[in-house]
Amino acid sequence: MFRSPIYTTINMFAYLADQPDDAKTIILDEFPFSDFLDVPLLRFTNLRCLSANFCGVKSVLGLPPLPHLTQLQLNDNQLGYNPDTPNFELLATATPNLKRLTLANNGITSHDILKPLKDLPALYAVDLGYNSVNRTHYRQLIDAVPQVMHWDEDGGETDCDSDEEMEGSDKGDGDEEDDDASMADSDRTWLLSDDDDVDVIPDSASESDMDEDDDDAIRDSASESDMDASSHQDEDADDVIMLN
């Protein structure tokens, strides 16, 4: 995708005009606009990812219905500085299936501004890197938006992934548990491997036990022989006495 290094509203309109109606990804990074009222996105009903980083966005006002949108990137904007609110309550109707929202470096100082996000049932990850709201407000964030499972703080940009990849990341926790179980099993298997000394020791110990058993058998046999010899000697002695 080629764009002029001069990011203007006219160039943004030209970029959007070149995109097909069934586009799944739209990247508006660095194009200047404060809200979505004048951004012609209405025809992109199949959009999965919308990126508007470093655009000077103060509000999501005017965002059209995007029923398939799963990722919305709004890093390096001014959503936390808006004296009125960033209108996050509009996302519940505009993007009802939103899964990931990135809000890094937006001057967000309170968890209260995020409370409208609780009406997005599919939302599981929010990036709040480089905002005043951080891990020290973790309990308040959970109370404000309880369905969110990941509060990222790295502030990094997230690539627009497909729905399949997003769903794959949803399943990651279970896979990690399986991996942990596999690692535990592999550890147990390692302890029982042929190359491990733990196996060699019982083998040699068994051989020693077998040797000891053999020695015991020999000693038992020798003892029996000695007893037999003693019996014979006693019998011979009796015979001699009887002859006298």
Task: Please state the domain count of the chain.
Answer: 2
User: Which pTM was predicted?
Assistant: 0.65
% pLDDT > 70, the chain: 61
Domain boundary among 170, 189, 221: 170
Task: Identify whether 1 is part of a domain.
Answer: no
Other beta carbons within 10 Å of 51:
20
Domain boundary among 141, 170, 199: 170
Range of the domain at 208: 174-244
In this structure, are 102 and 212 located in the same domain?
no
Q: Which pLDDT score is estimated for 160?
A: 74
In this structure, are 166 and 211 located in the same domain?
no
95 pLDDT higher than 50: yes
Domain boundary among 170, 194, 228: 170
Strand segments (E) across 1-138: 25-27, 49-51, 71-73, 100-102, 125-127
In this structure, are 60 and 130 located in the same domain?
yes
The two three-digit tokens of residue 32, written as one number: 């200047």
pLDDT digits (tens, 9 = 90+) for 202-213: 444 444 454 555
List the CATH number of the domain containing 76: 3.80.10.10
Select, from the ranges 44-48, 132-136, 171-175, 221-225, the one with the highest average predicted confidence (pLDDT). Answer: 44-48
% pLDDT > 90, the chain: 52
Axis crossing angle, helix 163-170 with helix 172-191, rounded to the nearest 10: 50
Q: Which pLDDT score is estimated for 152?
A: 78
48 pLDDT higher than 70: yes
